[in-house]
Amino acid sequence: MTNAAKALLEGGPEDLSERVVPITPPGTELKIPFRGGYEHFRATSRHEDTSEGRLAVYEWWERTEVAE
């Protein structure tokens, strides 16, 4: 199994249930839909051992709202 296509999310809303997510496409930012908006996470240079193997750590940096 390869872990190159997954990331560990750090920070952001405490009730964000998924902390291991696919990286699609691999890059420097992830945009996760959550509660009518998006949580934005940026890649760090860190990695962490998880139950799914060693994953890149992405840390939360902002939230944007979806216009209704």
pLDDT digits (tens, 9 = 90+) for 39-48: 999 999 999 9
> Is residue 30 domain-resident?
yes
**H or E stretch covering 58:** strand 53-65
53, part of any domain: yes
The Cα 2–Cα 33 span in angstroms is: 25
Based on the structure, what is the number of domains in the chain? 1
Predicted local distance difference test score (pLDDT) of residue 55: 95
pLDDT at position 5 is 85
34 located within any domain: yes
1 lies in a domain? Answer: no
The per-residue pLDDT for range 7-31, each reduced to its tens digit, is 999 999 999 989 999 997 767 899 9
Residue 50: give the domain boundaries.
6-65
Contacts of 22 (CB under 8 A, 6+ apart): 5, 6, 7
Under 8 Å CB-to-CB from 54, ≥6 apart: which residues? Answer: 3, 47, 48
Residue 22 inside a domain? The answer is yes
Pairing of strands 6-10, 53-65: parallel
Q: What is the pLDDT of residue 4?
A: 54
